Amino acid sequence: MKQVTLSVFAIAVAFLSSCTKDEAVNRQSPQVNPQPTQAVQIVSNWMSMDFYYGGRDNPDGLEAIHYFSPTTYNEQEHTRLAFVRTNDSRRALPAYMVVDGKPLRISFNLTFGTFIVMMDGDQYTSTIGSTPLSDCQFRYIVVANSVIANSNIDWTDYSQVATQLGIVD
């Protein structure tokens, strides 16, 4: 038993003496070179959407959901934009539109696999009919923050955004 203990002790001393103080100081943790995020640009087609009342994300108003193949982008490094196109204009969301003579607030939520457009208004006491909304089409865009920071345009103006990103309608 004594011989086994001495053998283990001798191996431990030999191992510890092989390490030097200089090696410990000069050892550095490996440097991780993060890959720069590419300027992800996602542009959907203009789409008509079917609205229904009382959805999960907007229980007191209208909601429409468009599902698409999941897309990966870094939410911290990219900006999500959405626009509504009517017969006479294109507006960034969120926005207010007049429907049946009353203001209607339009907002959106863009996730990795869904584009949700929500509409509601304080002056509506009943279900908002979707017929006046049939001429509306919607588009979402995902662009890197670096593109936005390095350009001097109004990102709520669709014509400037389309020109900047080379989008053709």
Q: Would residue 76 count as lying in a domain? A: yes
Mean pLDDT value of segment 12-40? 45
Whether residue 5 is predicted with pLDDT greater than 70 in this model: the reply is no
pLDDT of residue 125: 47
pLDDT level of residue 29 (50, 70, 90 thresholds):
very low
Q: Would residue 29 count as lying in a domain? A: no
Specify the amino acid at residue 23.
E
Q: Would residue 36 count as lying in a domain? A: no
* CATH classification of the domain holding 52: 2.60.40
Q: Would residue 20 count as lying in a domain? A: no
138 or 126: which carries more pLDDT confidence?
138
Q: Would residue 32 count as lying in a domain? A: no
| Owning domain of residue 122 | 41-165
User: What total number of domains does the chain contain?
Assistant: 1
Show Cβ contacts of residue 93 under 8 Å, excluding neighbours closer than 6 positions.
Answer: 82, 83, 84, 106, 107, 108, 117, 138
Q: Would residue 85 count as lying in a domain? A: yes
Q: Would residue 46 count as lying in a domain? A: yes
Sheet with 78-85: strands ordered across:
41-43, 137-144, 78-85, 90-92
Q: Would residue 22 count as lying in a domain? A: no
Segment 32-49, tens digit of pLDDT: 334 444 455 788 999 999
Instruction: Check: pTM over 0.75? Answer yes or no.
Output: no
C-alpha dist (Å) from residue 58 to 13, 82, 107, 116:
70, 17, 10, 10
Segment 92-112, tens digit of pLDDT: 999 988 877 778 889 999 988
pLDDT level of residue 122 (50, 70, 90 thresholds):
low
Least confident of 67-71, 74-78, 126-130: 126-130
pLDDT level of residue 81 (50, 70, 90 thresholds):
very high
